[in-house]
Every structure is written in C-alpha cells, then in structure tokens.
Amino acid sequence: MGVAMSLLRFLSFLLLGGVAVALATQPVSVQAQLATSVSVIFLLALLWKFSRGAEARQLFIALALFVVLRYVYWRITSTLPPLSDPVGLTCGSILLAAELYCVAMLLLTLVVNAEPLKREPAPQIEDEALPTIDVLAPSYDEDASILATTLAAAKSMDYPADRLNVYLLDDGGTDQKCAHPDPAIAERARARRAALQELCAALGCYYLTRERNEHAKAGNLNAALEHVDGDIVVVLDADHAPFRSFLRETIGYFFEDDRLFLVQTPHVFLNPDPIEQNLRTFRRMPSENEMFYGVTQRGLDKWNAAFFCGSAALLRRAALDEAGGFSGVSVTEDCETALELHAQGWTSVYVDKPLVAGLQPDTFASFIGQRVRWCQGMLQIFLLRNPLLKRGLEPLQRLGYLSSMSFWFFPFPRLVFMLAPLAFILFDVKIFVSNIEEAIAYTATYVVVNAMLQNYLFGKVRWPWVSELYEYCQGVFLSKAIVSVFLRPRSPSFNVTAKGAAPTQDRLSELAWPFFAIYGLLALGAGVAVYRCVAEPGVRQLMFFVGLWNMFNLVTAGVALGAVAERRRRETHPRLPVERRGALVLGEEHVRVAIEEVSAGGCRLRAATESDAKALAAAKETDGRLYIDSIADAARRPSLAARIVGVAPDGRRHIAFALSQPQDHLALADLMYGDATALERFQAARRKHKGIIAGTVQFLWWGVIEPLRAFAYLRPRASEAALREPPPFADLSNLLGRRQPRLRPPAEAKAPRAAERAPSSKNENA
C-alpha cells in the first residue's frame, strides 16, 4: 500500500507538472508577460500577508512556479545566441545550463518540502521496558576538555544506569599510532591513551581503541560494534554534548515501529561558524544549517527519507547488523548507511527538537575543509550508490536522496553566475539575446518571484541572499574537489574537522587571496560597465541591466571578503543562556543566585532576592563554591570551585570555574546540559524572519563595510597568523588534577563526595 500511494503521489506530481508546462509555454506578447508576472507578484504578496494555511501554501507555490516556468521556456527558446556566434553560443549555453540546474534543484526542493512533517512527541516508556543503549563517541585528536564535557553529558542523561553504557572510541591512541616509527608521535599516542583511559574510568565510561586506523570514522564505529551489544546505538561526535532529556525524547519512537532504524535530531551549535563570527550575525541570524535541520529534514521525513547525519542520532543495532555495520565506501558514512537501510525497507524518524549541542569550526580554512569532505562524500554516493538506480527505494525516497546529493553541484553554477556578466562587459560576448523590455518582463520578475518563494518557504531559517554568500564562499574551493571526485570516485579520504583553534587576533584567512582577486575583477567590470554605458549608446540599456547583475556580484564578493577577514575570538568557551538556581558560598556568605548564562569556563549570575544581593555585595571573598540545584536529583547538589572575576554595573557577577577534576565535568553537565529548554530558547531566539527588503538592505550594507575591513586587514601585523592552539593533551593532566591549582574554597563549604570509580576499561588493545 505504501509503495502504491507513493507512486500515485509521484504520478500526480508529473501530471500537474505537465499541465503547468503546457500553460507556461503559451506564446504571449512582452506586454502581456509583464502584466501577468506583475499580477502574480501582487497575488503572492496578498497570500503572504493574509493567508498562511496549507491551501494557501500550495497556491503560493503553484503561482510562483508558473512564473518560473515561463522564464525557463523563454530562456530556452528565445535567448541563446545564434550558431553564427560560436563563442557567444558556448558561453550562453553554459549560463543556461547553470540556470536550468538551479530550476531543477528548486523543483526537487519543492517536492521534498511539499509537506514538512511535524512529529508528535515520542511515547514515554516505563524504565523496566527500556532497551539497553550503547553511546559511541568517536574521537581522533580532540582536546581532553571537549571529550570530558561530551562524556560527562552522555553519562548524565536521564536513563536507567544499568541500561546505559558510554564509550569513547579513541582513534588517536590505536596500536598503530602507539607503535609509530616516529618516537614523538608514538609517545604522544601512548600518553593520550593512558590519560584518556584514566579520564573515562573517573567519569564512569569505557575506553575503546583498535589495532589500526582503517576506514576512518566508519571503521572506528564498526570496530566498536564488536565490543558492545546494546539494543540501540547512540552516535555522538566528540564535541556533541547531549542534554539530559535526549534519550527520553527519542527512545519511544522505536516502540511504535519495529522497522525503525534511525531517530535523528538536529545539530545545534553553541559557537558561530567562521562566517557568522566574522560578520557578527551569530546571536541574531539563523545559522546556515537551520534550513536543512529546520525544514529540509522535516520534508524528507514526510517521505521516509530523513537520513543519518553522523551524530545526535539513535540507531537500532539489529538494522546495523543486517546492513553489515556502518557503510564506508564514501567519506560520508552517515548518509550512505541510511541509504542502504532505507533500500532494505527500514524506516527513519526525524525529531525537530534541539537535544544535542555541538561546536563548529573556528577558522574559515577548517570550515572549508569540513565542507569539502561533505561535498566529496555526497558526490561519491551519487556516483557509486546512485539513488535513482538503487533497488528497494520508493520514488519519493529516490528524489529526496537525489536532492541532497545534487545540491553539492552548486559551486559550478554559482561561479558561472558570478563571472558571466564579465564576458559581456569586458569582451562583448553575447551570453544571451534580449532587449531591456524582455529582460524586465521575464528576468526581473523571475528574480523577484524566486526571492519571494525562498523567503516564504524558508524565511525563518534563512535570510535573503545568505545562501548566495555561503555558496560563493564554498564554491571557490569546492569546484576543484568535485572534479577530483569525478576523476577518482574512491580517492577522497576522511579528514577530521579541526576544532578549538580560534584566531587570537584579527587576521586574513590563509584562503583569502582568491576572494580578493575575484573582487578586483568584478570591480574592474563595474568600472568598464559604467564607461560603456556612457560611451556606447547602442548597448546602454542592456549594459545597464548586465551592470546591475555585476554590481550584485560585487556586493556578494564584498561580503565574502568580510567572511574571510577573521575576527579574533574573545570568548574562550561558547556560552548558553540558561535559567537555573543555586547557591554561591563566599566565606561566611551563603547567597541564593539565579544563573543566567553558562559555559565550560564559567557563568554569569545574579542574586535571587534583594537580601541576597545585599549579602553578595557584603561578601569580602572572591573565591568560593557554586552549588547547583540539580534537575536530576533534588537531594543532590553538585558544586564547582568558583571565583568572581567581574561585576557588571547592574550587579551581575561573572564567575570563572576551575575544572580540576573529571567529576567537575559531571557538575558542569548538570548545570549546562540539564535542561534542554535552554537550547530551544537559544535556537528560537535566532529564528527571526527578515523580509526581502530588509534583508537586501542588510546585505548591501555588508557589501559596503566588509570590504573596507578586509582591506584594512592587509596591513602587516606582528603575529598575524597566531592561533589559540593549546599544547596537545596538556589539559589531560589538568583534568586529572595534576597541574592546575584549585581555587581556594571557603572553609565552611564542604565539597560533594567524589563519585565512585567507573567501570574498568573494556579496551582489549591497551
């Protein structure tokens, strides 16, 4: 029945598409085309303003598609240069191909997001019926402080302790690395292994490593499957800390469907990506991944095509065993594994609720490295496991996977759009044949309708023109990566994304030079366009239109200069707004406090009452202890050594923590990851819709000021490339209480009893 219904929907889409094409290809005058398109724009504005129901959504999409298809028909039939102009015909065909790709992606996107699914909460299951769970946290070279945070948060999840095991999968301490021919590398690996074994034991977790570093993350996970036997496997990246309610919010779905292999939750990040950091948009603009996790995954979920994203997910062990473990043909083992299991008839669920907090790359170079891997991996799957040819998938599943993979071809059309106007401006190459009236009637109205459609569907998760910015920033480097995949589909290797190496001062990224070169070329084109508009009346109208196109590209390139002009990071640790209570003990004073913001390095708090404020002001001590009202157990009060390091004008205190023992991370996990509503508020505060006009003004402003800042960064600096890179594993011994001096606790405050020692290591290679 499911296959028949899916096929029926697919045929319905084809039928409706055929009708739309027939209507869109009717010949009309330019004046009629302009009147029709303007009328559609007016109707779209009315629908946007006064109606937001499901029927209005479908009508909005249908009207917008009519204009899009009219434009496509005109472009194909009326705008290509003649055969007598082979250079123009070649350049024009390349531009048309780029546009057709974008239209095809738009159609796929509309199919995928036709009915984004909002799932009901998972049923709550009695403890006695809950399955056993193995939490697997693969690691390669992450700092111990990051690992301790993730492990402590995983260990603190609300779940019966006898049914939950947490494993650190250490690929940085394998037998291969410990026996490396280079003595320094071998000693480093052995030190890492010993220290992380001790850390895991202290936190109540298990340490696993393997003999050789083979098949990257998929190989690490598959090696761990040989040592664990839980009913459910949870995969967490080393820097992805789960909130306490993660399992309670997700495990119930497995009881509703015996063929369910995956419950995926969104990836939410506490720190900005490099572009957000450099443009200073992190706290006020939706993150770049919000469009995927906030809309696209829900759309895929409707068609049973939501896929595994490598972390923040639960997988049924029986399904993994049936598939032979995690797939490792590509460097994106997550999507590849999901594709295989969907083809075998398993189902998936996407839960659009932030339950895990992670970290993003700190530098533009590491950001590009991450995206190169994603791009190459998805295109490997496209070539080696093409969903259109994969047996077992339903039609809409095929389209869903095809959409996710085909997206990564965007670098080519994006670069074509950036450089195409220069062909006409600088070399007088006719890239399309049109007059100004046709350009307005077809092209201008198409651009407006396309912008309205994007803003209507994704306005809360993507500001206007931000997609163009991110695609351009990535496209400069991803185009080469795409070519390499097509030449050698099995050649890409898994590269771990660097974290925790933020710039300590303002500087230009080491990848900045191509952006300056393209900006200079576009600026030259803008100057030539102005000159030709004045000096060549015969091409003035068309040159004006193409010049505007080039000016938009110049603005985009200018904003990209700001994206690669890296600002120093003032925050050592990402912060999360919370609403927690506790007591700050400073000498004789015991002050009830409200904790408003917390990070791995400290928190911001205020006195809970006026009397507490007076007591806090009267306190002479600055060193003390912060006792936290635990969410997990009201009778237990975890605590952290604390020092007042700043006082705001409104009386709020800034507190620094001293995480000198592994158990301190359990207390921090209770404080920072105890209440998932904090992450929901954090995410919701950034999902602010920005209209087309406001978004365009903002983008234009960036295009003016960001190039000025980037060119200012060209001035030589004494230590331009300095990065905050702590000595490898220097913090391991600190976490184990060997070097870092503890803050002086007050005599009246007794520290909580140390946690019992964890289970012994299950590592068989140590």
Q: What is the DSSP string of 20-54?
A: HHHHHT----HHHHHHHHHHHHHHHHHHHHH--SH
- Same structural domain for residues 584 and 524? no
pLDDT above 50 (res 723)? no
Structure tokens, 205: 């977790």
Q: What integer is the mean pLDDT of 475-490?
A: 95
Q: What integer is the mean pLDDT of 416-421?
A: 97
DSSP classification of residue 547: H
List, as one string, the DSSP characters of 203-220: HT-EEE--SS--SHHHHH
Q: What integer is the mean pLDDT of 260-282?
A: 97
pLDDT band with cut points at 50, 70 and 90 for residue 498: low
Structure tokens, 152: 């402590």
Using a pLDDT cut of 90, give the percent of the chain over it: 80
> Between 619 and 709, where is the model more confident?
709
Q: What integer is the mean pLDDT of 738-744?
A: 39
Residue 352 has a pLDDT of: 97
Q: What integer is the mean pLDDT of 743-749?
A: 38
Residue 739 has a pLDDT of: 40
pLDDT above 60 (res 747)? no
Last residue of a domain, one of 650, 683, 716: 683
What does pTM read for this prediction? 0.89
pLDDT band with cut points at 50, 70 and 90 for residue 754: very low
Residue 193 has a pLDDT of: 97
For residue 167, give its domain range.
127-281+306-360
In a domain, 763, yes or no: no
pLDDT above 80 (res 722)? no
pLDDT band with cut points at 50, 70 and 90 for residue 20: low
pLDDT band with cut points at 50, 70 and 90 for residue 318: very high
In a domain, 293, yes or no: no
Residue 688 has a pLDDT of: 87
Give the Cα separation of 400 and 270 in Å (integer). Answer: 29
Residue 496 has a pLDDT of: 67
- Same structural domain for residues 85 and 192? no
- Same structural domain for residues 213 and 150? yes
pLDDT above 70 (res 22)? no
Domain count, the chain: 3
Dihedral angle over CA of 271, 275, 279, 280, nearest 10: -10
pLDDT above 60 (res 705)? yes
**Which of 171, 239, 273, 629 does the annotation list as catalytic?**
171
- Same structural domain for residues 107 and 138? no
Residue 760 has a pLDDT of: 40
- Same structural domain for residues 205 and 322? yes
Active site annotation includes 171: yes
pLDDT band with cut points at 50, 70 and 90 for residue 442: very high
> Between 26 and 36, where is the model more confident?
36
Give the Cα separation of 383 and 736 in Å (integer). Answer: 47
Q: What integer is the mean pLDDT of 232-242?
A: 98
Residue 738 has a pLDDT of: 41
In a domain, 726, yes or no: no
pLDDT band with cut points at 50, 70 and 90 for residue 749: very low
Could you give the angle at the alpha carbon of 354 between the alpha carbons of 350 and 359, nearest 5°? Answer: 115
List, as one string, the DSSP characters of 596-655: EEE-SSEEEEEESSHHHHHHHHH---SEEEEEE--SS-TT---EEEEEEEEE-TTS-EEE
Give the Cα separation of 589 and 666 in Å (integer). Answer: 25
Q: What integer is the mean pLDDT of 439-452?
A: 96
Residue 630 has a pLDDT of: 87
pLDDT band with cut points at 50, 70 and 90 for residue 278: very high
- Range in 22-26, 225-229, 747-751 with the lowest mean pLDDT: 747-751
Give the Cα separation of 517 and 557 in Å (integer). Answer: 10
Give the Cα separation of 397 and 399 in Å (integer). Answer: 5
In a domain, 628, yes or no: yes
Q: What integer is the mean pLDDT of 70-80?
A: 96
Residue 184 has a pLDDT of: 96
- pLDDT tens for 560-610 read 999 999 999 888 889 999 999 999 999 888 999 999 999 999 999 999 999
Residue 167 has a pLDDT of: 99
Residue 736 has a pLDDT of: 45
Residue 28 has a pLDDT of: 82
> Between 661 and 417, where is the model more confident?
417
**Which of 237, 334, 352, 675 does the annotation list as catalytic?**
334
pLDDT band with cut points at 50, 70 and 90 for residue 367: very high
* Owner of token pair 């006064």: 50
Last residue of a domain, one of 542, 566, 590: 566
- Same structural domain for residues 464 and 610? no
Structure tokens, 609: 């009452």
In a domain, 99, yes or no: yes
Using a pLDDT cut of 70, give the percent of the chain over it: 89
Q: Contact 342/394 with Cβ under 8 angstroms?
A: no
Q: What integer is the mean pLDDT of 69-80?
A: 96
In a domain, 675, yes or no: yes
- Same structural domain for residues 251 and 142? yes
pLDDT band with cut points at 50, 70 and 90 for residue 138: very high
Residue 717 has a pLDDT of: 59
Last residue of a domain, one of 651, 683, 715: 683
- Same structural domain for residues 137 and 63? no
Residue 661 has a pLDDT of: 87
Q: What integer is the mean pLDDT of 334-350?
A: 98
- Same structural domain for residues 264 and 347? yes
- Same structural domain for residues 339 and 428? no
In 3-state terms the chain splits into helix, strand, coil percentages (rounded to 5) of 50, 10, 35
pLDDT above 80 (res 253)? yes
Could you tell me where the DSSP H helices lie in 204-331?
216-225, 274-279, 290-291, 297-302, 317-323
In a domain, 221, yes or no: yes
pLDDT above 50 (res 469)? yes
- Same structural domain for residues 248 and 338? yes
pLDDT, mean over the chain: 90
Residue 632 has a pLDDT of: 73
pLDDT above 60 (res 732)? no
Give the Cα separation of 25 and 250 in Å (integer). Answer: 49
In a domain, 365, yes or no: no
Residue 504 has a pLDDT of: 79
Residue 751 has a pLDDT of: 35
pLDDT above 70 (res 387)? yes
> Between 438 and 716, where is the model more confident?
438
Q: What integer is the mean pLDDT of 456-466?
A: 95
Which amino acid does the sequence have at 245?
S
CATH number, position 657: 2.40.10.220
CATH number, position 161: 3.90.550.10
- Same structural domain for residues 12 and 108? yes
Q: What integer is the mean pLDDT of 658-679?
A: 92
SS3 450: helix
